[in-house]
Amino acid sequence: MFIEQLTGGITAFTDTLFISMVSDEAAGSVGMLGPVLMLGYFIMPQFTSAGTSVAAQYMGAKRDDRVVPAWFANIAISTLMGTVLALALHAFSGRAGLVLGMTESQNAWAASYLSVMAFNFIFVGLRTSYGSILASKTLTHWNMAASIVTDIINIPLNWMLLTGFWIFPELGVAGIALATVISYFIGFSILFVLVHWKLKVSFFVGHLFRQAKDVVVPIFRIGIPAALEPFSYTIQSFFVSAVIIKLGSAAMSANTYVNRFNFLDMAASWSLTMGGQILMSHFLGANRTDDVRKAYWKIAGIISAFAFAVYLAIAVFPRFFLSMFTVNPAIVSVSIPLIFIALAMEPIRSINILGGVALKTVGDGRFSVVMGLIFMWGLVPVLFATVALGGGIVAVWMCLLADETIRALINLWRWKSGRWEGRRVIDEKGV
C-alpha cells in the first residue's frame, strides 16, 4: 500500500517537475489549483475507504453474504461521484483561477491544465473503488503493481505530450494533464481485469441491487462524516490559496514546490492509515478492542517519525532539492523557511490523518468532524488578518502549523479517552 500511495505522489511530483520546465508561473498557477483537485483526490477516496471499512467489518463479523454488495455499492457511489465532478470541473475550468484571484495569464495556465485533468476523476473513482476490493482481501501488492505501471507510463507520456516528441502532438501543460488521465485509465483497466478475472469477483448475482441498497447505509454512516471534514478542509484550502495568490508569483511557486516534497511522508501516512483502518475494522468486527488501540498507537509512532525524517533530509540540503524545480533566487529564498516549518508540521499532520480516520472507523466520527470544522473555519479569518497586517507566506504557514497542531492534540486526547469504545457501524448481527 505504501508503494501504491508513493507512486500516486510521484505522479503529482513529476507533473509539477515537467510544468516547471515551462515556467515557474505555470507551475505556481497549476499548483494553486490544489483545492480544486482535492475535491476528487481527497474527498472521493473517503467514500471508497468507507466502503472498504464496511466490507472489512462484514468479513470480521463472518457476514460474507454482505461483502460483494458492499463492493458493488462502493463502485457505484465512487463512479457516480467521479463522473459528476468531472463534468462540473470541466465546465468550471475556464474561471477556476480567476475565482481564486489569479491574473489572466496565470488563469490561462490553470485552465489549460484543469480542462483536461477534470476527466481523470472518473477513473479516480473507478480505480480507488476497485483497488479497495483488492485491499480488503489483503491483495495490496496488485494495487501496487497497477500503480507502478501507471507511473512508468505517465513519466514518458508527460515528456512526449509536453514537447511533441515523435508522433505525439505538442500540447504543453494540457499534454501533462492528458498524460495523467491516460495513465490512470490504464491503471484502472489493470485493476478491473485483476478483480473480475484473477479474483473472479462477479456482480452477476441474484438480488444484488437490493442487497447493495441495504449496505449503502453503513457506507454513508462512515463516508459522510469521513467526507465532511476533508470537504471543509478543501473549502478552507480555497481561502488559503486565495491568500497565497495575493502574495505574488514567488509565494505561489514556493508554496507549490515545497508542498510537492511531502509526497513521500504522505504516502507513508495514508498507506499505514488505510492499512490500519482495514486492520482495526477487522478487530472491531470481532470485538477485539485492545488490538484496535494497540494498532493505533503503533501506527502513530511510525508515521510521525517517518515524516520528520523525510523533511529533516530536505532541510539539511534545501537548495539541492529545490534545484529540481527552480534556480530562481527569489523563489528559493522564500522556500527555505517553508521547508523548516514543514519539518514541524508534517509529523503533526500525519497524526491528524490517522486520528481523524481512526475515530471515524470506530464510529466516533462526529467528534472529529465537529472539532475539525470549528478549527478549520476559525483559521480563515486569522489568515486574512495575518496578511492584512503585512504577514507573508511564512506567517501563513505558521498559522497552518498552529491549526494542524491543535486539531492533532484534540484527536489524540479523544482517542486516549476511550470514549469510542463499544461503537461500531454494524450491529452485533452484522447488519
- List the pLDDT tens digit at each of the 431 positions of the chain: 677 677 777 888 888 999 999 899 999 999 999 888 888 887 887 777 777 777 777 776 767 667 778 888 888 888 888 999 999 999 999 999 999 889 999 999 999 999 999 999 999 989 888 888 887 777 778 888 888 898 899 999 999 999 888 888 889 999 999 999 999 999 999 999 998 888 888 877 666 777 777 777 777 777 777 677 677 778 888 888 999 998 998 999 999 999 989 888 888 888 888 777 777 777 776 677 777 788 888 888 898 999 999 999 999 999 999 999 998 999 999 999 999 999 999 999 998 888 877 877 777 667 777 877 787 788 889 988 998 888 899 999 999 999 889 888 888 888 887 766 655 544 444 44
- 21, 160 contact by CB (below 8 A): no
Residue type present at position 377: W
How far is 183 from 175, CA to CA, in rounded Å? 12
> Residue 353: its pLDDT value, please?
85
The pLDDT score that the predictor gives to residue 430 is 45
Rg over alpha carbons for the chain, rounded to the nearest Å, is 21
CA atoms within 13 A on the CB side of 217: 9
- What's the pLDDT score for residue 165? 85
Q: Could you count the other beta carbons within 10 Å of the beta carbon of residue 118?
A: 25
Question: Which of 21-25's residues contact partners 24+ apart within 8 Å by CB, and which partners?
Answer: 21/162, 22/109, 22/162, 22/172, 22/173, 24/249, 24/253, 24/325, 24/326, 24/328, 24/331, 25/105, 25/106, 25/109, 25/249, 25/253
φ and ψ at residue 216, rounded to 5 degrees: -65, -35
**In the chain, domain spans:** 2-417
pLDDT of residue 423: 55
Which of 237, 246, 173, 251 lies closest to 33, judged by CA? 237
Q: What is the DSSP letter of 64?
A: G
Q: Write out the three cell numbers for 133.
A: 476490493
CA dist 211 → 67, 192, 324 (Å) = 10, 22, 51
49/45 Cα distance (integer angstroms):
6
Q: What is the pLDDT of residue 422?
A: 58
Chain centre distance of CA 273: 12
